[in-house]
Structure 1
Amino acid sequence: MSVFKKLFKQTFIYGLATVLPRALAIVLVPLYVSVLGTNQYGVYASLMAFLILGNVVLSYGMETAFFRFINKHSPLKNQVQSTALTSLTVSTILFLTITLVINDSIASFLEFKPEYITYGLLILALDALAVLPFVWYRANEKPMKYAAIKIFNVCVNLGFNLFFFLVLPHWAKGVEDSFWKAIYFEENKVAYVFIANLIASAITFLVLLPLYIKIGFGFSKDIWKGMIKYAFPVLIAGIAFSINEAFDKILLKYLLPKNIAEAEVGVYAACYKLGVFMTLFATAFRLGIEPFFFNHAQSKNAKQTYATITKYFSIFGSIILLIVIVYIDIFKRILIPKEEYWEALSVVPLILLANLCLGIYHNLSVWYKVTDKTKIGAYISIVGAFITLVLNFLLIPLISYQGSAIATLAAYGSMMLLSYYFGQRNYAVPYDVKRIGAYILLATGFSAVSFYVFDGNLAIGTALLLVFLLLVFFSEKKEIKRILKA
């Protein structure tokens, strides 16, 4: 099997496992929009933004360090695994113990109900304890087991969401002092979102628990120091990335007037979900590509392979951008059925393009991962976070969530360009910049014409999409045939 076919196979499997949890978020949007309303949806979106940051901090770059050390120090594989597992387990237990003690203070400071913070802390801890087992599956090329457990988590989460929002209200209408009545929160339905997530995380951890025995606990001080040194820049980059991904919802909550803040976060977060199609593609691709990058770093044609992969990622990403924009009127009616949310649709083109830039950045980031210069990746992410924070602080008071969308595009676009610039100086890859740039500019131009000029006219939008697909086909026909025959 050629490296491309193997990559596409693993990307599909990892992608399925990644797409389904994200797809769950999309599937549940119509339900949340209908049941929660803009204010409670805003509470959900802003607290989940904090959880994104918490996930990064609790894993502290150990995932990437694990991949690097498993490949770099293969004779010490067992020690690397047990050291990483021990480190993550101890740090997670300490975190949970301390934060639960000061739970009320955290809730007061962040302006959330204490029970929401409790749910969030437990979810963070359980997800952190699942990090190493999932990484172990990826490192040992067991994508089917990885995918099966991820999909199981999705099913559990979805099942409890449907129960809490569709079944429980009917059961609670029965006897006044029944059990179902006691656990039904008429005025606090957003709590069920976190409870369903918590139950799914707890069950998933129990399923993964046998791997703790298989890997075993152990600790090598020298290995741990090396892993932490490698992981620290990844952690900084992760924190910066979480700022880019999630802090717009947080800053909207605190920078806008209190009487409109949660509603504004709600409509923005709901329309932001339409950008998830690009995120799904980029995340699935990244999960498949990361082990591939490390495993083929010493291959003879590694750089040319990376260049080809990045080009086709850009092509598929451009197609997704155009499809979502052309058919946005259909997507909005399916995913966001309440018209009160549609006022924020103008951010969707910006978010899609921003996530395309982010996906390309992840492809370009191969140079600092395989050359052990992760600190430069951290610096690039810090620049992105700085742009995100500055533009959000400047623009939110003026144009609300429009400013957040502009900040996201500016941050991810800058990170992409910086990674390309420094990458070519340290680990030159022969990217087909002209063709990649042409595809992205053409897709962006067609999207702008469809969305802004013709106001989502389906006939014109579809024609533009077909023109783009034909141009790609005739431009890439020979190389596609070559790859398929390999």
Structure 2
Amino acid sequence: MRQEILTLGKHTLIYGTGIIISRAVSFIMLPVYTRYLTPADYGIMELLFMAIDIIAMIVGLGITGTVFKFYSDYKSPEEKREVICTAIILIFVIASVTAIIGFIVSPNISQVVFGNTDNSYYFQITFVIYFLQAGNNIPLMFIRAMQNSTSFIVINLIKLLIQLSLNLLFLVWFEMGVIGVLYSTLLAELTIASYLHVYTFHKIGFRFSISKGRQMIKFGYPFIFASLSNFVITYSDRYFLNVYSTLTVVGIYSLAYKFGFLMGYLAVTPFMQVWEPQRFEIAKQDKVLPIFKRVFLYFNIFVISVSLFISLFARDFLTIMSDPSYYEAYRIVPIVIIAYVFQAWTFYCNFGIYIKERSKHMAFANFISAMSNILLNFVLILEYGALGAAWATVGSFFIRFLLVYMFSQKSFHIDYGWGKQLLLVILSIFIYMAGRTIEIPGIGISLVKNSFLMLLFGILVYRFILNKLEKSIINQFIRNPVSFVKIAQ
């Protein structure tokens, strides 16, 4: 079991680096965005990229969610390559039709979202970006499936450098505003798409399978409703805020929400990039239950640590990096982080639904959660504004986690060791409340205080969460990190 966990940790680190690089542009550019875009402009930009997400969720037929499962099911390299090629072609056809239709009806969409047609061109560019991003997804999944970590990191690094360079050029030099951000995203996606498709088809050839395509669509289509519900949970609050408040509030709330995404990018997505394909292979072994339980503890230590770090340092970060008009976002950040901890648990604990191919259960759980989110948004946003939107997200994410957990456990029971998991949560709450209680003026002193609290949290985890073997491994690493790395390899 130790070897599997070490391998998982190694690949999580490698692919995590790639994911962080791919998502880094939105955070590296925050000082620029918050100075060269007004909160209202930032709100418009968020609503545009929100449109890309909902389009991808509705029209993708859930195909991307099925790729790893079918790739794992087949044994021969030929059939594995056929799965990838079939998925690429299906996505290409769907994305092409969707982008063309969307380009034509962009004035209507702008009217619905903004109440006018002034932003129609923004939506037309957004549909082109959607087409490129949708086409890039499967080739990137193929690289992950082959565990080609070097290519994965290099591709994401090149994309990051292109986007950063063009963002600085269009926003700072030419002062193009929102359209400059869209152009930089478009050109970066186009560059990466050109390489990815040449590379992928060179590796797999042309191997379309009608039968495999039908299987993917049959298994994946319930995930359309799951994804659509997930979109409602994640983004409907912006719509309510836009209707009942202002674009400025949408911009501030969206900035705070970025920290929830940041937690996912740093802690959850890198792990799931590796764990998602591997868990199907591990499930074939006799040792599946102990591995799932232990990995969940390590996963939670990482997730809770990153969540606590972001919650403690959010105010400091915003003070240093953003314009004063965005400072109030720090009050929303910890609430959004709570929601994303529940989402992390949902991702990990949904295995029974996937292994037993009961995707309708996932769709049902997401639907109920989405309906509760709409109700909570309506009630809480009217009364509490952006803070109400954040708590509505927490409530709906918690409901979804409970439903997914119950369905999954009924299909494939796993002991997750909730005693230690909840103790970990309690320790993090204790540290966070200590940080909120001890208010010290001055950014430098605040940074020192929060750093000390993170160190204290690490000590508490070491003392109360880890077992003797894990403590001895950490002690060995502290005494001689070089030799430890060699042993791990």
TM-score (norm 2): 0.89
Q: Which amino acid aligns with 2:196?
A: L
Q: Which amino acid aligns with 2:293?
A: A
Structure 2 letter corresponding to 1:411: S
Q: Partners of 1:349 and 1:250 in 2: how far apart?
A: 21
Task: Note the alpha carbon deviations across 1:382-424, whole angstroms, 9 max, x for none.
Answer: 2222222211122212211111100111122222233333333
Gaps of 5+ in 1: 170-184
Identify the range of structure 1 (317-326 vs 35-44) with the bigger mean alpha-carbon deviation.
Answer: 317-326
C-alpha distance in structure 2 between counterparts of 1:65 and 1:274, whole Å: 28
Q: Distance in 1 between matches of 2:259 and 2:81?
A: 43
Aligned 8 A contact 1:313 1:360 in 2 = no
Q: Distance in 2 between matches of 1:58 and 1:137?
A: 24
CA offset at residue 444 of structure 1?
2.1
CA distance in 2, matches of 1:482, 1:70: 35
> C-alpha separation between the residues in 1 aligned to 2:303 and 2:425?
8
Amino acid at match of 2:90: S
- Match in the other structure for 2:25: 24
AA at the equivalent of 2:212: I
Question: Aligned equivalents of 1:212 and 1:251: distance in 2?
Answer: 44
Higher mean Cα deviation, 470-479 or 460-469? 460-469
Does the CA contact (< 8 Å) of 1:58 and 1:128 recur in 2? no
Q: Are residue 299 (structure 1) and residue 305 (structure 2) matched?
A: no
Residue 349 of structure 1 aligns with an amino acid whose one-letter code is P
Whole-Å separation in 2 of the counterparts to 1:292 and 1:394: 42
Amino acid of the structure 2 residue aligned with 1:145 = S
Q: Is the 8 A contact 1:99 1:121 kept in 2?
A: yes
Match of 1:229 among 218, 221, 224: 218
Out of 288, 302, 310, the position equivalent to 1:324 is 310
Give the TM-score taking structure 1 as reference length: 0.89
Q: How far apart are the structure 1 equivalents of 2:345 and 2:320?
A: 29
Amino acid at match of 1:6: T
What corresponds to 1:383 in structure 2? 368
Provide the C-alpha distance between the structure 2 equivalents of 1:6 and 1:250, rounded to a whole number of angstroms. 42
Deviation at 1:356, TM superposition (A): 1.4
Q: Which residue of 2 aligns with 1:471?
A: 460
Residue deviations 1:303-323 (CA, integer Å, cap 9, x gap): 211111111111122222222
Cα distance per residue 1:420-446 (max 9 Å; x no partner):
333332211121101101111221233
Aligned to 1:441: 426
**Residue 144 and residue 295 in structure 1: after superposition, are their counterparts in 2 closer, same or farther (change >3 A)?**
farther
Q: Give the C-alpha shift of residue 123 in structure 1.
A: 0.3
Q: 1:470 is aligned with what amino acid?
A: I
In the alignment, the residues of structure 1 paired with residue 388 and residue 398 of structure 2 have an alpha-carbon distance, to the nearest angstrom, of 15
Q: Could you tell me how far apart the structure 1 residues matched to 2:451 and 2:193 are? A: 45
Residue number in structure 1 paired with 2:258: 273
**How far did 1:282 drift?**
1.2
Cα 1:149–1:463, aligned 2, differ >3 Å: closer, same or farther?
A: closer
Letter of the 1:307 counterpart: K
**More divergent stretch after superposition (46-55 vs 208-217):** 208-217
User: Which letter does structure 1 place at the counterpart of 2:292?
Assistant: Y
- Given that residues 321 and 447 in structure 1 are in contact (C-alpha distance below 8 angstroms), is that contact kept between their aligned partners in structure 2? no
| Offset at residue 157 of structure 1 (A) | 0.8
Give the superposition deviation at 1:21: 2.7
Which amino acid counterpart does residue 89 of structure 1 have in structure 2?
F
Q: Does 1:356 align with 2:344?
A: no
Matching of residue 155 in structure 1 with residue 156 in structure 2:
no
SS of the residue corresponding to residue 295 of structure 1 reads helix
Q: Is the 8 A contact 1:96 1:121 kept in 2?
A: yes
Matching of residues 303-452 of structure 1 within 5 Å? 303-336=289-322, 338-451=323-436
- What corresponds to 2:477 in structure 1? none
CA 191–139 in structure 1, closer or farther in 2 if over 3 Å, else same? same
* Structure 2 equivalent of residue 454 of structure 1: 438
Equivalent-residue separation in structure 2 for 1:344 and 1:376 (angstroms): 35
Task: Identify the match of residue 273 of structure 2 among 280, 284, 287.
Answer: 287
**Cα pair 1:123 1:197 within 8 Å, conserved:** yes
Report if the CA contact (8 A) 2:36-2:172 is conserved.
Answer: no
Among 83, 89, 92, the alignment partner of 2:86 is 83
CA–CA distance in structure 2, aligned partners of residues 102 and 324 of structure 1: 40
Q: Quote the sequence identity (%).
A: 23
Aligned counterpart, 2:481: none
Is 427-436 or 362-371 further displaced after alignment? 362-371
Ranges in structure 2 where 5+ consecutive residues have no aligned partner: 475-483
* Alpha carbons of structure 1 residues 289 and 322: separation in structure 2 relative to 1, 3 Å: same
**1:198-250 alpha-carbon deviations (Å, 9 max, x no partner):** 11111111111212354344433322221111111222222222222222223
Higher relative contact order (CA 8 A, sep 6+): 1
Q: Quickly say closer, same or farther: Cα 1:328–1:456, change in 2 above 3 A.
A: farther
1:15 and 2:8 correspond? no
> CA offset at residue 462 of structure 1?
4.9
Give the match for residue 115 of structure 1: 121
Read off the aligned partner of 1:68 and give its amino acid letter: K
What is the match of residue 478 of structure 2?
Answer: none
CA distance in 2, matches of 1:385, 1:151: 35
Separation of aligned partners in 2, 1:82 and 1:326? 45
Structure 1 residues 372-381 or 272-281, which shifts more? 272-281
**Could you say what secondary structure the match of 2:332 adopts?**
helix
Whether contact under 8 Å (1:92, 1:128) holds in the other structure is yes
Distance 2:158 2:211 in 1: 37
Q: Is the 8 A contact 1:79 1:218 kept in 2?
A: yes
Counterpart AA for 2:354: K
Instruction: Indicate the SS of the match to 1:74.
Output: coil
SS of the aligned residue for 1:2 comes to helix
- Cα deviation 1:69-101 (Å, max 9, x = unaligned): 122133433432332222111111111222222
The amino acid that maps onto 1:454 is I
